[in-house]
Amino acid sequence: MRIYYKATYTYKIFRAFCKSLNNLITTLGTIVMFGIEFFKGLRYKPTTFPELMSQCYRFGVTSLPITLSIVGMTSVIVAMQVAGEMVKQGAGNYVGMLVAILMVREEAVIMAGFAIISMIGSSLASEIATMKVTEQIDAIRVLKVNPIHYLFTPRVLAGTLMMPIVVIVSSLVGIVGGAIAANLVSGLTFKAYFDSVWFGINMHDLQVCISKSFAFGFVISLICCSCGMEARDGAKGVGLATTKAVVWSFVAIVIVDLIFAAACFY
């Protein structure tokens, strides 16, 4: 009886693992297929300017307050924690450089990514998932319009184009926030801080930051649209699709970040 129980338990774990692996491969495959279809859509379905602008506004403007708050506060926290200590150790001239490198290389882009996923990605996924479960996507198909071209093209394009702008603005706010915090905490002058910033940042950092932002914007919007498109079974399905979109996007941008870090800095 005991042996039987153990075998059943092992089998259950194995079955759950296989199911998860199957889901993972299926979702990855679906996202890749939708990605290919998106690129086809760029060719076949010219996105109208107002439609693109509306999605750009959604990505770039509506997300900005929360993104700036998160990135700004993160840089203030970093500056508060390191500025006092570094000034004491005689390394005050490196505070600006440290905050700037942290912002441009990592913090601004990853924090903006998290903010965009939480605010815009989740709304994209739930919007498309609701359309799916209320048969609006079926209606688009019956009317012989490709729903991937119609829905994905403006959203993914807007996500890809707006993410670098959000990240650049966030980085600037983060650097300025760090300057204010460093000045208040340790009395470091703005001149010393910004001299250190210019010394620390180089063109390579900016290029990587912008490239990574494009990649993040593309990955987030594609994953969120794809998860929404795969929704089924009513309100519960919308919730599951939104959760899946958020989780997958978080994981995906960390993986993309890792790839960029490995490729560009090592």
Which residues would be at the binding site for another protein (CB under 8 A)? 44-45, 131, 134-136, 138-146, 150
Cβ closer to another protein: 42 or 140? 140
Cβ closer to another protein: 3 or 143? 143
Distances (CA, A) of 262 to 103, 250, 255, 258, 265: 18, 18, 11, 6, 6
Element (H, E) at 193: helix 190-200
**Nearest distance, CB of residue 149 and another protein, angstroms:** 9
- Give CA–CA dist 182/179, Å, rounded: 5
**Nearest distance, CB of residue 131 and another protein, angstroms:** 8
Cβ closer to another protein: 149 or 244? 149
Cβ closer to another protein: 145 or 184? 145
- Give CA–CA dist 261/253, Å, rounded: 12
Q: How many CA atoms lie within 13 A of 216 on its CB side?
A: 32
CB 221 within 8 Å of CB 124: yes
**Nearest distance, CB of residue 43 and another protein, angstroms:** 11
**Nearest distance, CB of residue 230 and another protein, angstroms:** 16
- Give CA–CA dist 136/132, Å, rounded: 6
**Nearest distance, CB of residue 134 and another protein, angstroms:** 6
Distances (CA, A) of 94 to 90, 105, 146, 220: 9, 16, 54, 34
Residue with tokens 């996007």: 249
- Give CA–CA dist 34/42, Å, rounded: 12
Cβ closer to another protein: 177 or 228? 228
Cβ closer to another protein: 133 or 223? 133
CB 167 within 8 Å of CB 109: yes
**Nearest distance, CB of residue 143 and another protein, angstroms:** 4
